[in-house]
Structure 1
């Protein structure tokens, strides 16, 4: 079996057995294919012939291109998971990745929106139009719940409970969690469901879907569609900072912690398996509190 055939077999394993998100699968396979291309250049045609030296050389070549430590760490993690699969299937006799230490990640403080920036985004849409109502529902939901964009586009209408003010979210590994959402988001979603969504479904003709967010053809909205909508909103708001769905997720977590929410609750709402993933936001809140102290205390 060729390396490319093994990669395709691994891809099916991720989709069927691991039930991995399409975004995760694409990244894993892209990383493995990049490594395979490097091996071809080194005249190595079998994953079983790879040694520790080749893996180190691969990382060195990545660093030469200016790749960040966090990106290199992600690629190494992808290869480690791939070789673990090959070992389990009896395809390779040893795992050269296990001897390579993970690069130390650069500590980056998550970017978030300030209240003034959010206000511009929340008032940019014309909520008298179908697309304006849908886009308003998108940004309100992202900020109100802190969900990942991959989770947002999978939300079904039946998973939204207005009486309890919660949404059932299917997270990574198909793990479920209930996330609360406030009155602003509820009002935006109700308006969209009552007025816009039926109109967009009509444009789809015979298309029927329970997905909450749909596009101009009445079909489910994709990850890329949400990113396009957010970038368009950002441009129309004339904000100089960049926007991406995760920035709204960072904002959600930062604002909750700044307002006194406990970290365990924020962890649960974000769907983090480890508390350490949530702790990065404490760096933001510490800076925030320090600035408040310096500006407010007479002897600071």
Structure 2
């Protein structure tokens, strides 16, 4: 099994690229994991395992004795839960030992959702007269238009796309496959990319991957994150933008437009609808703003 610090580094990279967490949150997670690793080592434990539940509970009990607030302990447990879930997802562990440890309910933190106007500004940034720009434009449109995770976006294969029927076949978490529709804008960008830009990028090479770099290799999550960061800086949008921001925007804009929660759950690939329900809070805030603006008693 890889060293604890190596596993922690991989997990923190995942939080940056896949989850789009802020630098402050990443620093907190790093501190939480370091404290937990000290607890493991003080108990003579060198590696994590699926049998770590007593160690997790013991560590949280020690933290309680230091008069740490319930909110801080809950955040700490959230970091450990995320870490263990990541290890299961990466097949380092067969089971998550933190899943039966209670997490105090301290309220939901709503994602900072991009407006439709902000998304449109971002999607307009790539120069589509260039083959790389055309590829980037297609990637942005698909990410927002289908609500994909960035890992799902960069692992799409050429045969996963059906532009005629306007859908994508997406391989999600836990090897779960789902069909996601794409709209007219994403279809147009994809058709242009496939017909013009992709052959230029491949230069006669063959590739099963949908989105390719100049050498014909698939674009990585980190590579796409750098591209998005550049466009975000040039777009003039002041909100923090990550690949996950467009997934949040996809779900929130659908809900605000009248889509039902179950349909959004299916398109996002959430196994549990409770993961999707956070967007009802975003929509509720939007409705409240509409009421205050337009209702005579608002």
Same fold (TM over 0.5): yes
Greater shift, 258-267 or 44-53, is seen at 44-53
Q: Deviations over 1:96-142 (max 9, x none)?
A: 96884324354111221112211211221211001110110111011
User: For residue 191 of structure 1, what is the aligned residue in structure 2?
Assistant: 192
- Residue 212 of structure 1, CA deviation: 0.7
User: For residue 14 of structure 1, what is the aligned residue in structure 2?
Assistant: none
Whole-Å separation in 2 of the counterparts to 1:171 and 1:218: 24
User: Greater relative contact order: 1 or 2 (C-alpha under 8 angstroms, separation 6 or more)?
Assistant: 2
Whole-Å separation in 2 of the counterparts to 1:157 and 1:198: 12
Q: Deviations over 1:62-111 (max 9, x none)?
A: x79x978456314146458989x99999xxxxx99688432435411122
Q: TM-score, normalised by structure 1?
A: 0.76
Q: Deviations over 1:140-176 (max 9, x none)?
A: 0111000100111111111101121100000001100
User: For residue 252 of structure 2, what is the aligned residue in structure 1?
Assistant: 254
Q: How many residue pairs end up in the alignment?
A: 270
What value does the CA root-mean-square deviation take over the aligned residues?
A: 3.8
Whole-Å separation in 2 of the counterparts to 1:178 and 1:86: 28
Whole-Å separation in 2 of the counterparts to 1:253 and 1:284: 10
Within 5 Å, which residues of 2 pair with 1:29-68? Answer: 35-40=36-41, 42=42, 44-45=44-45, 51=55, 52-57=57-62
User: For residue 201 of structure 1, what is the aligned residue in structure 2?
Assistant: 202
Q: Deviations over 1:168-199 (max 9, x none)?
A: 00000110000000010011011111111111
Contact map agreement 1:168 1:176 (CA 8 A) in 2: yes
Residues 1:224 and 2:229 aligned together? no
Question: Alpha carbons of 1:113 and 1:82: their partners in 2 closer, same or farther (altered >3 Å)?
Answer: closer
Aligned counterpart in structure 2 of residue 75 of structure 1, from 76, 80, 86:
80
Question: Alpha carbons of 1:220 and 1:238: their partners in 2 closer, same or farther (altered >3 Å)?
Answer: same
Whole-Å separation in 1 of the counterparts to 2:86 and 2:230: 37
Within 5 Å, which residues of 2 pair with 1:1-300? Answer: 23=14, 35-40=36-41, 42=42, 44-45=44-45, 51=55, 52-57=57-62, 69-70=74-75, 72-76=77-81, 78-79=83-84, 100-104=101-105, 106-202=107-203, 208-300=206-298
Whole-Å separation in 1 of the counterparts to 2:151 and 2:65: 32
- Residue 23 of structure 1, CA deviation: 4.7
Greater shift, 247-256 or 112-121, is seen at 112-121
Contact map agreement 1:38 1:58 (CA 8 A) in 2: no
1:104 is paired with a residue of what secondary structure?
coil
Whole-Å separation in 2 of the counterparts to 1:35 and 1:290: 42
Structure 2: tracts of 5 or more residues without a match: 8-12, 19-29
Between structure 1 and structure 2, the one with the greater Rg is 1
Whole-Å separation in 1 of the counterparts to 2:85 and 2:142: 35
Greater shift, 96-105 or 289-298, is seen at 96-105
- Residue 39 of structure 1, CA deviation: 2.4
Greater shift, 247-256 or 114-123, is seen at 114-123
Structure 1: tracts of 5 or more residues without a match: 12-21, 90-94
